[in-house]
Amino acid sequence: MYIFKKVSDLQKHLDGLREAGKTVAFAPTMGALHNGHLSLINKANEIADVSVSSIFVNPTQFDQKEDLDKYPRTVEKDIQMLIGSECDVLLLPTPDEIYPSDVEVRNDFDFGVLDDVLEGAHRDGHFAGVGQVVNRLLEIVQPNWIVMGQKDYQQTAIIRRLLELTESKTKIVVSPTIREEDGLAMSSRNVRLEPDERKEAPTIHASLENVRAAYGSGEVEQAKKDAIAQIEASGSMKIDYFDIVHPTTLKSVTKWDEAEQLVVCTAVHLGKVRLIDNILIP
């Protein structure tokens, strides 16, 4: 695996590959890698000649300084995992490479209502930061495809919109959420759960699956209430939101047949950790 710390070196390398007719798929990350990330690399290897990843803990997308400070950093281990997954190229930049003083990095994208709901309503400026860094990374890497995880469903909707707003040639590929055996969605934040919290955490996925089981019968609102009650019954989890939404507008639905597929999504505080998850139904 080639590792580049400088944007200009990475660009020179990728230009050479493109001139030789190679296609590129890009999976951006913030490190602290787990099997969910590796599935994105596998997908990139499947669809393109060259897989590129990046590890950059982007400060502009954290609304809480504590969350940024506590974000796990495991670069050496990450590099070994990427090599094991046959990632071809890694960009490992310093903040100055991503946000150099002489380059204007846009952060003024209007994501409209996509940024007002769910995560957007709870994390001020989060998606402005995500849009800013992903746009900058796309300008640097210029991939044919960007590969993102369904685990961050709203983020995939935001990036889809970003690609439209910038009239980008890059296409987005969304890869399914990878779960632990007990259903907990893999996340870099899971390592911060205390052992008793870790035992509680699969309730989040179970509550989503109970909405799937209720799909099509009874009221949407009742299925939502039951799922919320299930999470709250644990006593240790605090819900930021639990909603059943339209897959493209992300607006709450009131009827099961408002779209062919619906997204059930939630964000929950468990101890000091905030976890998100979603499933597509039916």
The smaller minimum CB distance to ligand PAF, of residues 153 and 242, is found at 153
Could you tell me where the beta strands, DSSP code E, fall in 18-144? 24-29, 50-55, 89-91
Min dist CB 81 to ligand PAF, Å, is 15
Could you tell me where the beta strands, DSSP code E, fall in the chain? 2-4, 24-29, 50-55, 89-91, 145-149, 171-175, 237-245, 262-270, 273-281
By CB under 6 A, is residue 231 in contact with ligand PAF? Answer: no
By CB under 6 A, is residue 243 in contact with ligand PAF? Answer: no
Q: Which of 13, 34, 37, 122 is catalytic?
A: 37
Instruction: Choose one: 43-51, 126-134, 243-251, 271-279; the region binding ligand PAF (CB under 6 A).
Output: 126-134
For strand 171-175 and strand 24-29, is the pairing parallel, antiparallel, or unpaired? unpaired
Packing angle of the helix pair 126-141, 7-19 (nearest 10 deg): 50
Residue 148 in tokens: 């993102």
**Please, what's the b/e burial string for 96-126 (b: 16 or more CB within 10 A of its CB; e: otherwise)?**
ebbbeeeeeeebebebeebbebbbbeebeeb
What is the distance, to the nearest Å, from the Cα of residue 26 to the centroid of all Cα atoms in its chain? 14
By CB under 6 A, is residue 277 in contact with ligand PAF? Answer: no
Rounded CA gap, 83 and 85, in Å?
A: 5
By CB under 6 A, is residue 134 in contact with ligand PAF? Answer: yes
Binders of ligand PAF among residues 256 to 275 (CB under 6 A) are none
Binders of ligand PAF among residues 142 to 161 (CB under 6 A) are 152, 155
Binders of ligand PAF among residues 74 to 113 (CB under 6 A) are none
Q: For the chain, first and last CA: distance in Å?
A: 40
Among 10, 25, 30, 117, binds ligand PAF (CB under 6 A): 30
Among 58, 170, 203, 278, binds ligand PAF (CB under 6 A): 58
Min dist CB 171 to ligand PAF, Å, is 16
| Interface size with ligand PAF, residues (CB under 6 A) | 10
Min dist CB 133 to ligand PAF, Å, is 5
108: phi then psi, degrees, rounded to nearest 5 = -110, 25
Tokens 């990036």 found at = 159
By CB under 6 A, is residue 130 in contact with ligand PAF? Answer: yes
By CB under 6 A, is residue 131 in contact with ligand PAF? Answer: no
By CB under 6 A, is residue 140 in contact with ligand PAF? Answer: no
Phi-psi group of 130: left, alpha or beta (phi > 0 → left; psi -120 to 50 → alpha; rest → beta): alpha
**Residue 37 among the catalytic residues:** yes
The smaller minimum CB distance to ligand PAF, of residues 58 and 266, is found at 58
Interaction site with ligand PAF (CB under 6 A) = 28-30, 58, 61, 130, 133-134, 152, 155
**What is the set of active-site residues?**
37
